[in-house]
Structure 1
């Protein structure tokens, strides 16, 4: 008769730096897995004890004793279940990204991550030394191999485990979300499982940390590379699978959760990003300017879905160029979603500023300065409300605008978190339609009308920018795929338009450096994964 090894997959939401709190969470999951699911093993995610990514917290001298204290506590308090957990740990003065096995009160095995990513949002070589050899441990007669996140994207660690007779691979992850990531993970896992001839249990963390969103979506694949189980996306979960030692058969104890489609996954990522940024930083609520336009409407809907309407305050700040339909739609959406709504005219503020600036502007023609002043009046109001109430100001600029600088420093860019920072304008519309397919959240007229900043009479975005469909495609090629201007033109785009767009991207780096952070949902956002110099002689055709 073969033994059955039951593995519980702990897909949890950790707070970076909260080592005692994260340890509490791991212990609670272990008790539940042991007592309610009769699990033999609890598998947690990469760097679960510290949360991921800890960044320069890893350089603090006090980190090492805190990690050791957490490991001692886990050894002392865990009985009746084996724990596999991730943490940073020093060995002979070198810091490693580790996975450890705690069994019967002892740390019986450790593995150091071999493949340290140092691209896009990852900086692991800044902190960690790479391990050089995989290893296995035995439990209930089963040879189990460990790997950590990036390891599974390369063949060498798996080949080492195969050579050591691994029958089952446990893979600890802190894998950030971008649209389409689940399919990529599944493809890689299937390939590695077939190479090793062993099933892989892949556990990912859930939650958001600053601009990174972790979608969960833990996976199990068979030795043949077939999907056996998929956990929920964008929620915590504790799921179990049974592995038959000797036969290699692996089977889940609960049904798989479906993969969300493109719009659903992006929308839930944004909701998660807002919720965790607000909750983990202990903001009581959020406030945003609700203009009657598509960007602020989608931002408001996301905020309500993340926090509830009672924690979302919206302010309409009309001016002489604000269309009556904008006021009507803003008020209508506020009622639709149950948000607290107020209207504050910026006319008196603007007129006072212009009066005070009259001597400095004497003899100068009106230009975008007057338009930007309107945006800055609105920024002053929102920041005053934030200062008085403690509310976090959500800005509403989308990726298309952020890319080309179609925004006002210290105006509509003034705030603490930009929900749509990595969302192209064309996708904003798709998200609006997706959200309305669930329940009414955004007035249809907001979706249908041409976009406008309403900073001048009859103004529309397309007066200053190319068609958004073309703009977003050019930006994708230039920003996310590193095409040169010449290569983009070769794709069939107008040369003058391309040269203008890439020039705008390049010269507005200084603006983006001063913009709030926001959730990353594409393969390259304007944040930690795109670091260009502000002062540069680079030319867009190169």
Structure 2
């Protein structure tokens, strides 16, 4: 559970309706399989011990007693399992029958959760057998070693007997050849460490120190002392489908993982609705959601069950089973991420102590272990992996950017803009967005002034692309060669032009910004900023140079996404010449072109200096979006970029990321306005209210402790 990760599982065992012994054996086998694969929270379907479709057999005392016996067998045969296990059974309590979830841990029953909402419509007739569990709030007393012992009645209101005298006699000589079990009465009593007198003499039982009270309530929060951040609650099938699911209150009272034991039948299209329901509930409650549904073995008469198991986390489906098959699915949840998100969202309120009345904690225990990160973290979290979704996202972002600029131009009654066009990715995207905004306003593209300003580092390739792009899009092209002006400036300040230091580079950047601002004044226009989110996060911008503009359209677009936005425009523009220019720009190395080229080729490559943007965007996303600590980001990055970057390289650039992020905040504290397009942004007016002089020692010290 290091870093808050915990592996969970939802399983659909093979079920024979009303064959509790067989069903328990299948559940036990699947629990051990899940545990071997590292799962620590395991969820099985509704009424899986008896089968959901027993109908009027639920009135049979024989079935109810056998369900209790097999529940205790499951508990006993999973006592070596490091996990919290949920199974379903019919539970007789205080003269009524409930559809219940039993929570098992280390061979013990730690709680019963009755179903609150009982469906009695269409193909469902649960109201014929089961009572709603909304107002149930009691306990069951169990005695004996490992809960597999006798029940001693102490409370006259409690009417359920778990392995009392008659139950023990019923187990006499039971044989299960499939599981290798052969119970004789004496052997079974030996297992309980009891003799005949122990279980016959109720007085002796009452004096037995091995006595446990098991809570029975829909309002249970299962809590683990070894992992106190984890809070688990349960609801059953229909409870999720109603207008106010019990999990709403569970989350309000602190639960961050909801399990659902279900028997949802299959109808055409119902799987999509079910998937959306689970996903949206996990998003609404900012929680993990594990949904285990009854499988093909329950299919009888007019109804078919598909075993549609789902694992979701805050709106994302982590795992989904193939329907109409038995088996288990697995997912790794990040409890720390969920808790951090809840703290960040001020509207994600929690109950006060007074409002928690009526809810109880049920303790379970887990051995501390490190969850193996088997899943592949998305190495490009800002970029959708699906081509269809990526295209949809690109179109949406371009519209957000253009609409923001459109509003600014309309508000200040401005019909002219100026853009510094370098032939690189960022200025290309800024021009494409500006053209879209002008088209929205019905303004002539000729009022867009694209200024190319060649200097010491400009190559023929980028110069040509800048000029051709401007002409292709119908903008006015203006060229201002700044070599002479910058050289004069170096003479004025006494700088040696052969000394290619930060003064040499930034002098060019600030000269370009001055020119853009003055040309904007000439035309009564504004300067459109081109810098992107990744550059702002690293402070890779010249203060009062390319750092400044009147409106920065790319300010919340990360570098990895800039590339896909330009590619999307190339693919959809229906202009072969324009598409060719955009594709060549995409193929050009990212560079500020401030140092002289070597043999006509770009000599200064940004990623050689500051690091790969795909790494920095990964670091930025998990630091700001999920507030992950450095050690956790390093651990996830090693998994995400396996085969691309080794651990030493990732750690090197992660240290540089944190150092630059903390030292360059002063540049972000005075950023121009710009449209927010995603969940991560660094505007000082919106998402990142960080002191300019905050110290990063704590974060860097954590990275220094990492040993590879």
TM-score by length of 2: 0.40
Cα distance between partner residues in 2 of 1:455 and 1:306: 30
2:659 is the alignment partner of 1:503: yes
* CA-CA distance at 1:450 after TM superposition: 1.0
What's the secondary structure of 1:288's corresponding residue? strand
Structure-2 change in CA distance of 1:368 and 1:427 (3 Å): same
What does 1:138-217 align with in structure 2 at a 5 Å threshold?
A: 187=280
State the Cα deviation string for residues 10-64 of structure 1 (Å, max 9, x = none): xxxxxxxxxxxxxxxxxxxxxxxxxxxxxxxxxxxxxxxxxxxxxxxxxxxxxxx
- Look at both structures and tell me which one has the larger radius of gyration over its CA atoms: 2
Runs of 4+ in 1 over 4 A off after TM superposition: 188-192, 361-366
1:445 aligns with 2:584: yes
CA distance in structure 1 between the aligned counterparts of 2:691 and 2:666, rounded to whole angstroms: 9
- Cα-to-partner distance string for 1:126-161 (whole Å, 9 max, x where unaligned): xxxxxxxxxxxxxxxxxxxxxxxxxxxx969xx9xx
1:470 corresponds to which residue?
A: 615
Q: Secondary structure at the match of 1:313?
A: strand
- Equivalence map 1:234-245=2 (5 Å): none
Establish whether residue 334 from structure 1 lines up as the match of residue 465 from structure 2: no
* 1:264 corresponds to 2:390: no
**Which residues in structure 2 correspond to 1:45-84 (within 5 Å)?**
none
Unaligned runs of 5+ in 1: 1-153, 160-182, 193-257
- Identify which of 447, 455, 462 aligns with 1:311: 447
Q: Secondary structure at the match of 1:261?
A: helix
Partner of 2:409: 278
Q: Of the candidates 512, 534, 548, which is equivalent to residue 414 of structure 1?
A: 548
Cα deviation for residue 479 of structure 1 reads: 2.4
1:522 has 2:700 as partner: no
How many angstroms does 1:318 deviate by?
Answer: 0.3
Corresponding residue to 2:690 among 516, 528, 532: 532
Write the mapping of 1:98-113 to structure 2, written as runs, cut at 5 A.
Answer: none
Give the superposition deviation at 1:397: 0.6
- Counterpart secondary structure, 2:621: helix
**How far apart, in 2, do the equivalents of 1:259 and 1:454 lie?**
30
After TM superposition, give the deviation of residue 368 of structure 1 in Å: 1.1
Q: How does 1:29-40 map to 2 (within 5 A)?
A: none
2:567 is the counterpart of 1:433: yes
Q: Give, in angstroms, the shift of residue 338 of structure 1.
A: 0.5
Q: Secondary structure at the match of 2:610?
A: coil
Question: Is the 1:383–1:414 contact (alpha carbons within 8 Å) kept by the matching residues of 2?
Answer: no
SS at match of 1:406: coil
Counterpart position of 2:346: none
Aligned to 1:287, the other structure's residue is in SS state: strand
Cα drift, residue 189 of structure 1: 12
**CA distances 1:178-228 after superposition (whole Å, capped 9, x unpaired):** xxxxx99x9379989xxxxxxxxxxxxxxxxxxxxxxxxxxxxxxxxxxxx
Q: Residues 359-379 of structure 1: CA distance to partner in whole angstroms, max 9, x if unpaired?
A: xx4899541111000000100
Q: How much does 1:259 deviate?
A: 12
Tell me which residue corresponds to 1:486: 631
Structure-2 separation of matches of 1:522 and 1:292? 26
- Return 5+ residue gaps in structure 2 as ranges: 1-246, 253-275, 286-388, 440-444, 597-602, 639-646, 703-708
Q: In the alignment, does 2:425 pair up with 1:294?
A: yes
Cα 1:393–1:260 shift into 2, 3 Å: same
1: CA distance between counterparts of 2:588 and 2:475?
A: 23
- The alpha-carbon distance between structure 1 residues 331 and 529, as it changes in their structure 2 partners (threshold 3 A), is same
Cα distance in 2 for residues equivalent to 1:463 and 1:265 = 32
CA distance in 1 between counterparts of 2:477 and 2:531 reads: 20
* Aligned-partner Cα distance in 1 for 2:564–2:496: 46
Task: Sort the Cα spacing of 1:537 and 1:389 in 2 relative to 1 into closer, same or farther, 3 A.
Answer: same
Indicate how the Cα distance of structure 1 residues 347 and 521 shifts in structure 2: closer, same or farther if over 3 A, else same.
same
| Aligned mates of 1:537, 1:433 — CA distance in 2 | 39
Count of aligned positions? 297
For residues 485 and 471 of structure 2, the distance between their equivalents in structure 1, rounded to whole angstroms, comes to: 27
SS of equivalent to 1:464: helix
Q: How far apart in 1 are the matches of 2:465 and 2:498?
A: 36
Q: Distance in 2 between matches of 1:472 and 1:321?
A: 27
Provide the residue aligned with 1:8 in structure 2.
none
Contact map agreement 2:663 2:693 (CA 8 A) in 1: no
Q: Is the 8 A contact 1:524 1:530 kept in 2?
A: no
Query: How far apart, CA to CA, are the structure 2 residues paired with 1:340 and 1:481?
Result: 43
CA offsets per residue over residues 370-406 of structure 1, 9 Å max, x none? 1000000100100101122221101111111111011
2:508 is matched with which residue: 374, 388, 393? 374
Contact 1:478 1:502 in 2 (8 A): no
Which string of whole-angstrom CA distances, capped at 9 and with x for unpartnered residues, describes residues 225-281 of structure 1? xxxxxxxxxxxxxxxxxxxxxxxxxxxxxxxxx998222211211111111122122
C-alpha contact (below 8 Å) 1:286/1:392 kept by paired residues = yes
RMSD of equivalent CA atoms = 2.9
Q: 1:366 to 1:325 in 2, by over 3 A?
A: closer
**Match of 1:245?**
none
Residue 461, structure 1, aligned to residue 576, structure 2: no
Q: Hey, what's the Cα distance between the residues in 1 that align with 2:679 and 2:669?
A: 19
Q: Deviations over 1:296-347 (max 9, x none)?
A: 0111011001114233110000012200111111111011100000100011
- After TM superposition, the score normalised by the length of structure 1 is 0.51
Task: Decide whether aligned partners of structure 1 residues 386 and 155 sit closer, same or farther in structure 2, where only a CA change above 3 A counts.
Answer: farther
* Alpha-carbon distance in 1 for matches of 2:410, 2:496: 48
Measured in 1, the distance between the counterparts of 2:416 and 2:558 equals 26
State the shift of 1:536 in Å. 2.1
Mapped partners of 2:397, 2:696: distance in 1: 33
